[in-house]
Amino acid sequence: MMTKTYTPIVGTLGYVMSPDKKQVLMVHRNKRKTDDHLGKYNGLGGKMEPSEDVVTCMKREIHEEAGIECLDIRLRGTINWTGFGPSGEDWLGFIFRIDTFSGTPFTSNPEGNLEWVPVDQIQSLPLWEGDRHFLPLIFDNDPRAFHGYMPYANDKPQGWSFERI
């Protein structure tokens, strides 16, 4: 039996906290009509480049997408998303919370409008269905990182499991 080689796209996803820690900076993906994320709210981030480690990638993506510098960045977890996206790619995501930053965030970027959202209202936003499972883990007070698995099919999560260590 032939098994598929696991060759995920490696990416970062970051959630920038307001100075009072009550709001998070999110992008409302509303600019590109061909965007698979169109209409959804998401953290900031993207694909890792061959010359980067995951922290450098996260800092670069936040700077490119929001125009700010990350000062206090925390790895909150990792997620293996299999079958995600329009072509069913596998993604390995490193999820960060940025607790302190310098600069003034952009109000928009080529993906969409950047908005400060109260942390306690995130679940009411149009999100990827799967994000609702892991978002509480980013903002809770448990210092341990989570490591999750979320297989996708037809743009829908088929399951969710995680461990914290």
∠ CA 39-43-46, nearest 5°, is: 100
3-class DSSP assignment, residue 74: strand
Confidence of residue 37 (pLDDT cuts 50, 70, 90): confident
Exposed (0-12), middle (13-18) or buried (19+): which is 77, by Cβ within 10 Å? buried
Give me the pLDDT at residue 32, please.
74
Tens-digit pLDDT profile for residues 89-125: 999 999 999 999 999 999 999 999 999 999 999 999 9
- Residues of the chain above pLDDT 70, percent: 98
29, two tokens: 């993906």
**What is the C-alpha to C-alpha distance for residues 14 and 36, in angstroms, rounded to an integer?**
19
Topology of domain 9-160, CATH? Nucleoside Triphosphate Pyrophosphohydrolase (3.90.79)
DSSP secondary structure, 123-151, as one string: GGS---TTHHHHHHHHHSS--SPEEEEEE
Domain locations in the chain? Answer: 9-160
Looking at residue 16, what is its pLDDT? 98
The reported pLDDT for the residue numbered 19 is 97
Q: Map residue 60 onto helix, strand or coil.
A: helix
Q: What percent of the chain has pLDDT over 90?
A: 85
Q: What is the pLDDT averaged over residues 139-156?
A: 95
**Helix-, strand-, coil-residue percentages of the chain, each rounded to 5:** 15, 45, 40
Judge contact between 65 and 28, C-beta under 8 A.
Answer: no
Mean pLDDT in residue range 44-72: 98
* Cα separation, 27 vs 154, whole angstroms: 23
- Tokens 């965030």 belong to residue: 105
Could you give the dihedral angle defined by the CA atoms of residues 58, 85, 42 and 124, in that order, rounded to the nearest 10 degrees? -150
- Rounded to the nearest angstrom, the gap between the alpha carbon of residue 37 and the centroid of all alpha carbons in its chain is 12
Residue 85, pLDDT above cutoff 90: no
What is the per-residue pLDDT for 1?
64
pLDDT beyond 80 at 35: no
